[in-house]
Structure 1
Amino acid sequence: MALVMLPCDLPWWPTIVRHLTQISEATNVKEMMDPMQRIHNLCNVGLDPDESDAPDLEVFKGLEKFLVEFLDEEERSVFFTQTLPCMAKRALDLKRLRPPNGLHFSLQQQVDRVEFERDFVASLLANGFFSTFPKRTAKTHPTLQDFNFTNFFRHLDLKYQQCKLLSILYYFNYLERLTNHDRKIVLARQVMNSSQWLTIEDWLHCKLPLCPLLIRRKGDIHSVGSDHIIVCSTRNRIGGAVLADGISMECVQLITCPEMLVILLCVEALEDNEVLITEGVLQVAKIFQPLGKVAHEKLQNPHMLTICCMDPEDYSEIPLLQLQQDSILRELNKALLGFRQKPPPNGSLPRRLSPIGESFSSTPEKDTILKKTDSKPTEHLQVNRRFIVLGSSGECLPITRNISHYSSCHSTSSPDADDIDDTLSRKVTGQLDERRSAFADRLKEALDRADEASTDSDQMSDSRFRRDGSCGFVLEGESEPNQSFCEDFPHQRAASSKYSFTTDYSSELECVYEQLGRWLDEDCPVPQDGDLKAIREKAVIQFAGNLLKRTLSESFVGISVTDGVQEEIPAKNIKIAARSLSLELARHRNKLAAQLASVVLNRNDDIMPLATYNWGCSSRKGEPQLKLLIQWLAASVALLPHILYFTAENSELNKLDTVCRVLLDRQWSVGELITSVLKYCEQKIFQPDDHDALDLFEQIIGIDEKCFYFDESSPDE
């Protein structure tokens, strides 16, 4: 378990204490600058051997000029008599406030939720201001940010940088007046692993209605209070240049809520399936018009906000990349994960040993495309990637489930990788081979138990097995399958190895099987008093009975399943068939996952509505119309009460009112809207130079009736 190295853990902490004590007693700029320079010379030493060890004697010149020239006499007096002593005292309290088990890193691919005392966070910020932390660089800490303010002070000649510093100083002044420290600050890292990851088919078959969309053309998201969860568009290394000269929306959000700066200290960079939720952070100021005439406003009654930090992909080099299915799916799942406001179950993956190590791109395939792109970048856009590969763990998240591959238990064949990069193919093949071997053993055990449980050996010897698609095995006895069965599975395959199986769902079978096992362990009658557990068990048994017609299990030979009333099925038989049943559940997951997961995880009364804006659109060249619909779709699947959208008067969103009215009249579902979005993206990729083509909003408005991008009866086509 990796711990953050705090200044109070270092051997020179007594020296730092002596210098901080001198700073707390300073009455002028010179008395303050001398000990700050000594602290910097002592602590700000990096691990990079190529860096110069010579101390930087100019690092605090910007702060000195700010105090002397920018502040008037009264403001300077308040700074030296109130603000500076308060900050030095809080920095000195670090050892006393340090958690007994230390400060842990929030590691990549590790679900985490940590509560911090507000005084402890303030102490960390004060130490960052005085630059007492060891130095970090992108080379020595590729997934982390530097928490010292040394680079911040270099840019205090800029007006917006001065407003940023005023927010920090006001925060410490406000804390002295704040009497209620009961509510803690929460940092929650949420991860969507492979068993919870939704594919394109999952979204296409989602029947949930669109949630209400409230449009705000005036104002900005920083004026929203604590009654909404607020979206913050970040870099994957959250914070960006906030402690340098940054003035993006992300930097403004973090600097006006200074407690969010602790993210830079202990949170590793976000990957494609991760978001970070912060709760209970104080917004103490507002910064207006950061790119023009900057204005700073102190809030007399600061809000305690809940903020969702999620990083949109950067398409500034090749904007057409955002139209690919893998790009859209990445943004949809990331937004859904953040909007749910609850971490999905079983989300944790093996914890990494250290936050310091080799740097990986969150989307390595994009880098490959950039290197290969010549004068015709669209040639590389016509082939969709099959996987999103996570840099830290190498785990592969599927784009679509239409690439089923079969092999024998002992086969060494790998998926067809003609259109995948060779390196990625080898990585995927190795993971699938490992999972294939483990799953084959589990499947053999399940079949052996089914053989032992069977009492009719003659009937067993006459049974023949066959499979269809990725549904596992289907029993073909003497009796003919009913009509509904034939309609659902029109393309029967020839007989094959008894232990053949699909690799598409091997990563999630164990999770599904364990969940079914917990529900079916108790062989008790179902009461009629409305007990939730009993109702759930009854529903699972009924669902299992309907799917048994399509599932392999010798233990069900001789049990008829009629079109009318379902015969009672012994619980012992259901337990034996649970592993085989999980194959069928995995197949039908693409139609049920979005609906069931959202209902189970989010159906409660305390879900907050969402406030968001043109997420990832300005410098990252995201299409505002596409980004808006992605967030709307994710909010609908997350069952949010409504989404409050600030358009920033973007001209591309002028028809948003018409789109909302049209979709409301048509009563479109999530699946129908994503169908239209994908159709538009496909046309745009194959005809990028068609200047007469309709934009996304115009195309949606022009659709006369519902359409489906994939035929529901044949999702593999």
Structure 2
Amino acid sequence: MEMKTLLPLRSSGSSYEWAVGVQRVLADLSRGPAASRVKSGENLFDCILEMRHETGMQDYAMPENASRGLDLFFGKLLPQNLAREFFHTTLPSMAKLALDLPNLLDEHVNKGQLYGFGVEHRLRVLSSQEPGIVMLSQEFIACLLTCSFLCLYPSQDRDKYNLPGINLNKFYACIYEKNHDRASQQHKMLCLLHYFERVCQGMPHGMVSYERKVLLPWQTSDILRFWSTSRVPLCKFQVSATGDISNHIGGEALEVDFANKYLGGGALRAGCVQEEIRFMTNPELIAGMLFLPMMEDNESIEIFGAECYSKYEGYGKSFTFVGDHQDERPRDQWGRRMTRIVAIDALARPGAQQYKSVLILREVNKAFCGFLDRHGGEDVGVATGNWGCGAFGGDLELKSLIQWLAASQAGRAYVKYYTFADPRAQRLEEIVEWMSRESWTVGDLWNILLDYGSKREAGVIDCGLFEWLRPVTGLRALFSQLTSIFSRRSSV
């Protein structure tokens, strides 16, 4: 699939340009309300429609409530001094950024550079089952996100190629619609406006890389035996009831995004849980939605360098933007902030089926794909938590141990597990301490999980995994199973 079919520009050979009408509107916007007459949400929506018409895009992709959402936000929800600042200062600067898209695109499409990984990192679609990396400058990302804000991307082919939506039109509609929580949507919008204000006042000059990671066939052949016979020791596992993944303490770590299979999930719609919140505080993550199609079961997406711009409090309906965040994480030799975020999608609402061996295998392979590092970062830990255990309905006890054995097999130095004070994780630390003290391996834990899953699926037991594993009262029940496991292992 060619990148040019996803872009709002006209292409002629290897060069790109705005349609004449769009260039005129953007030029007016860049000179402020005196030239553009755009000083309200309603005016802005009309301006967006005009530019879409100039590029030949249809109106069906622009719900009527998008106009009402913009009008409500800039007319009532946002303090008028801030609305005036946006229309007189930030929006003109954003328009100047958008006008520069053809030049920036030419640099990133036709003049891809070689970085330290030995491959060319130009802007392109990273299709399913195609491992690769795209490296973008933060300035180019700001330009791409401005086009999202102005709803300038064509949308007709995105579903066809399993790409998530990238325009903000549905997000604007969610601000207005009563079936969504307006307060959380308002604060998501505040995060985005703060990002644009920051980059327009002082453009960062670093880089962000977007990588599609794929478990190749050689890594999945005879995979059951691979897991059951692994002698890799379980890595360190730290449990914390406080704190969160994005602000982990104790060393550099790969931070897990509890992702939707479509990168970003509901970030540009009504969603406001873990993944969506991270995409609001680190908006450069959103750019990956432009060119990264849906993840398959053997795929993950790692984004390295996305800067954090906003502080927040709360979660879901209580999510609140609370101000500016100055990201002080160091940069690597290619200018990327030392922030590694990996998107792995859990099974959605699997119910009792999640105890089947084939689905346990799916989850451990997904986590293993995400935690693997082909670029020499194995000594980095993993910061994670209750992956897929909220709206997706996963069993926290099962999923926490799946992540532990996947991180261990991937060679990670440690797992820092944030429980978010979830009572279901009450016994996790006790279980981890016991297994660590007994020097369990990946294979030991894997075989126990399969044994538990088969008994749970067959209805032989109905207790939780931790209760079944309980080190004190459960030792007798486990003795014969462990003896059998160790016997099989010694015979391999």
TM norm structure 2: 0.84
For 1:425-464, what aligned pairs fall within 5 Å after superposition? Answer: none
**1:628 counterpart = 2:405:** no
Of residues 321, 331, 338, the one that matches 2:363 is 331
Of residues 106, 117, 120, the one that matches 2:140 is 120
Matched letter for residue 613 of structure 1: G
Q: Secondary structure at the match of 1:282?
A: coil
Of residues 440, 450, 453, the one that matches 1:681 is 453
**1:200 counterpart = 2:224:** yes
**1:341 counterpart = 2:341:** no
For 1:597-608, what aligned pairs fall within 5 Å after superposition? Answer: 607-608=379-380
Q: Give the drift of 1:179.
A: 5.8
The 1-side partners of 2:420 and 2:64 are apart by 43
For 1:571-650, what aligned pairs fall within 5 Å after superposition? Answer: 607-650=379-422
The 2-side partners of 1:246 and 1:136 are apart by 23
1:88-117 CA distance string (max 9 Å, x none)? 111111001002437310111111011111
- With 218-227 and 196-205 compared, the bigger mean Cα shift is at 218-227
Identify if the C-alpha distance between structure 1 residues 54 and 291 changes in structure 2 by more than 3 Å, giving closer, same or farther.
closer
- With 703-712 and 233-242 compared, the bigger mean Cα shift is at 703-712
1:198-217 CA distance string (max 9 Å, x none)? 61211111111111111110
Structure 2 match to 1:297: 322
Identify if the C-alpha distance between structure 1 residues 68 and 55 changes in structure 2 by more than 3 Å, giving closer, same or farther.
closer
- With 26-35 and 120-129 compared, the bigger mean Cα shift is at 26-35
Structure 2 match to 1:14: 20
Please say if residues 44 and 133 of structure 1, whose CA atoms lie closer than 8 Å, have aligned partners that are also in contact.
Answer: no
Matched letter for residue 309 of structure 1: A
Q: Secondary structure at the match of 1:233?
A: strand
Identify if the C-alpha distance between structure 1 residues 58 and 625 changes in structure 2 by more than 3 Å, giving closer, same or farther.
closer
Identify if the C-alpha distance between structure 1 residues 607 and 91 changes in structure 2 by more than 3 Å, giving closer, same or farther.
farther
For 1:92-241, what aligned pairs fall within 5 Å after superposition? Answer: 92-98=99-105, 99-101=108-110, 103-136=123-156, 140-157=159-176, 158-178=182-202, 180-181=204-205, 183-197=206-220, 199-224=223-248, 227-241=252-266
The 2-side partners of 1:297 and 1:331 are apart by 35
Q: Secondary structure at the match of 2:325?
A: strand
Of residues 46, 50, 56, the one that matches 1:38 is 50
Of residues 290, 297, 321, the one that matches 1:272 is 297
Gapped regions of structure 1 (runs ≥ 5):
47-51, 344-601
Structure 2 match to 1:696: 466
Q: Give the drift of 1:291.
A: 2.6
Structure having the higher Rg: 1
Structure 2 match to 1:309: 343
Q: Secondary structure at the match of 2:256?
A: strand
Please say if residues 48 and 150 of structure 2, whose CA atoms lie closer than 8 Å, have aligned partners that are also in contact.
Answer: yes
1:53-89 CA distance string (max 9 Å, x none)? 6975553221122111112232123212321112111
Q: Give the drift of 1:321.
A: 1.5
Matched letter for residue 151 of structure 2: S
1:400-459 CA distance string (max 9 Å, x none)? xxxxxxxxxxxxxxxxxxxxxxxxxxxxxxxxxxxxxxxxxxxxxxxxxxxxxxxxxxxx
Count of aligned pairs:
444
Please say if residues 288 and 296 of structure 1, whose CA atoms lie closer than 8 Å, have aligned partners that are also in contact.
Answer: yes
**1:262 counterpart = 2:287:** yes
Q: Secondary structure at the match of 1:69?
A: helix
Structure 2 match to 1:76: 83
Please say if residues 23 and 32 of structure 1, whose CA atoms lie closer than 8 Å, have aligned partners that are also in contact.
Answer: no
**1:321 counterpart = 2:321:** no
TM norm structure 1: 0.58
Matched letter for residue 310 of structure 1: I
For 1:41-56, what aligned pairs fall within 5 Å after superposition? Answer: 41-43=53-55, 45=57
Please say if residues 625 and 697 of structure 1, whose CA atoms lie closer than 8 Å, have aligned partners that are also in contact.
Answer: no
Structure 1 match to 2:3: 3
The 1-side partners of 2:233 and 2:295 are apart by 30
Of residues 234, 247, 251, the one that matches 2:276 is 251
Identify if the C-alpha distance between structure 1 residues 615 and 707 changes in structure 2 by more than 3 Å, giving closer, same or farther.
farther
For 1:387-426, what aligned pairs fall within 5 Å after superposition? Answer: none
The 2-side partners of 1:145 and 1:612 are apart by 24
Q: Give the drift of 1:694.
A: 5.2
Matched letter for residue 3 of structure 1: M
- Structure scoring higher RCO (CA < 8 A, sep ≥ 6) equals 1
Please say if residues 188 and 276 of structure 1, whose CA atoms lie closer than 8 Å, have aligned partners that are also in contact.
Answer: yes
The 2-side partners of 1:12 and 1:124 are apart by 14
Matched letter for residue 219 of structure 1: G
